[in-house]
Structures are given as C-alpha cells and as structure tokens.
Structure 1
Amino acid sequence: MDLQPQEVQALTPLLAAEAAAEAPGAGVDAADLEQAVWVRLLEHPDAALPPEPAGWVRGAVRAEARLARRRVRREAPYATEPPASHDAGPEPAVLAAERRRVLRAAVGRLPARCRPLLALLLSPSDPTYREIAGELGMSQGSLGPMRSRCLGCLRRMLAAEVAPPVRRGMEP
C-alpha cells in the first residue's frame, strides 16, 4: 500500500483515539493496538487505501482488540518453582548467589539500550510487561523483540566467557 505522508498524518489522530477507546476493554496498551493496526495496514502492499479510511481504521482497531481479548483470556501464568530443599546444605545457595552475581555483572556490560530492560526483568519485584513498558517509555509490543535481541547478546557474551566442556572418553 502506497500511503502518502498526508494520509498517514490524517489517519494517525483517528487511530490513536480509536485505540485509546478500545484498549481498556481489551486489556492491552493503546500503543500496542495502534502498532498492530499499522502492521495490518502495511501488510498488503498491493492493496489500495480503503475508500472510507475512517471506517476501515475503526474496524481494524476493533478486530485487533478482539484478538487481544482472546489472547489475554488464553494466557496463563507460569507455574512457580518448588522451594529449594533446606537439607541440601549451603552449597546450592552459594552457587545460586554466584550465578546471580555473574549474570548481573554481564548485564552491566551489555549495550546501553539493553541494560535497563534486563535489569527490570531481573528485578526481585517481578514487574509485568505493562509496568516495564511504562518504566522504559515504550510500547508493550516492542518489549518482546527487544528482549529477544538483548537476551541473544547476553547469551553470546556469557558463552564466550564460559570454558567449553571437557571431552570425555575416546577423542577422535
């Protein structure tokens, strides 16, 4: 779809208003609804701009809100981990503390855009995606891709620091 700048400027306030109206009922952030509708609009490059863009925007926002409501209903929290055994001795606690220290040190060496996100994800208060998005001033829908990129960077960084496993048995 070839959207002209003036068309985008004309649709933006309407889209923002419609998303703000539908977001509370869908249980999602208004910016996430806006982003989903822009993606929907730009997914079909061959299609022409609908004859009545305002009606199309209203319908698209409502459709994305319905999808979001269904997603929210299907989401389930992860099961919590069982408490650690108290008779195992101090070793597991010391090893866990060392792993947390190494992880926090690695997070401190990440690129500047990843540090605050991973610090919030590792926070003991366990904030929700909505709270993290509000804290960082970004849309909730952008957190997942950014989290994936940052975790990949952290994974590569930690893999470079960890010695490769020692081969056992007959070596080829």
Structure 2
Amino acid sequence: MSAKDDFIKIYTENIHRDGADKLLEWLKSSDFFTAPASAKYHGNHESGLVEHSVNVYNRLACENPECRAICGLLHDICKVNFYTVSSRNVKNEETGQWEKQPYYSVDDKVPYGHGEKSVYIISGFMRLTREEAFAIRFHMGNYSDRNVPQAFSLFPLALMLHIADLEATFLDEKEDE
C-alpha cells in the first residue's frame, strides 16, 4: 500500500469531526500527496510529505486515536503548495559537462510561520482542541522561541509530537539525507 493509501485509510478511520471530509477533499485537490517533506533534507523527493506524515503518526504516542491522527497526519499541512520544482546547472564530475538538474525551491504564498500556518489551515475546515492546536503549533520545538518550554509543560502532547517528528525525521527517513 502506498503512503497516500495509508494516509487516507488512517484519516478516514480515525478523524470524524465536522469539516474533516472537506479538509481531506482539499488535500486531494492540492499537491499534498506529491509534495516533498523538505527542499534539501528528509523526504526531499516526490511524496515525501505524505510519507513523513504517516511516519510521524506511527511514532506518535497518543492514546486518543482521533487526536493521534490529526496531529500526526496534519502537523506539516503548512507545506501544501509550498514547494516548486526548479532546475539548475550542475557539473558532471565524470564528463565535465554541465547538466540541468531539478531541485525543490520554496514558494511560500502564505508566510505565516510553520506550526501557526498548519493550525490556521486546519482550523479553516475543522475545530482543533486546545492541546492539538498547541501540539501542532510547537511541534518544531525550536528553543529560540521562549514559549516552547512552557508549551511543552502545559501540553504534553506538544512534546510528544515534537519527539515523534524528530524520530520520523532522523530514524525513519535518515536515508533521504
């Protein structure tokens, strides 16, 4: 089964809130299922984003199936329609010839921040619990934000999602680097 099939199965079996069906239709009409997870690092290939989302879901230690699916599968929804395929010339070391190589570049038309943007997009379709919203908002961790330690303390799901994201990135997807 493909990552897209896994995603849709997990999503439809676990997420039952008002608006969830419309969010899934929006995802299907977007580049979510073909987009990379990053431009240079983990999952920087076609369908890397959906693969990463399923990996985070699988790593997330959360007892509530709906909450686990929402946070694990949708934490990086901010990357929908975010990357474009560009090309650059790269010198082939064997032949000495310049060759056109594709690469992903960022084209952010909604520069709202990473976690904040994911919460914003999801909230346009369905309601999040306070803990889900904080978990998705702070899933990157980034201790340069003075609110991260407090968010992790108040909302343990935020820390669990951060850890699941790290595990998926550095354990499950390490071969992509």
1 or 2, which has the higher helix percentage? 1
Structure scoring higher RCO (CA < 8 A, sep ≥ 6) equals 2
Name the TM tier (shorter chain): under 0.3
Structure with greater Cα Rg: 1
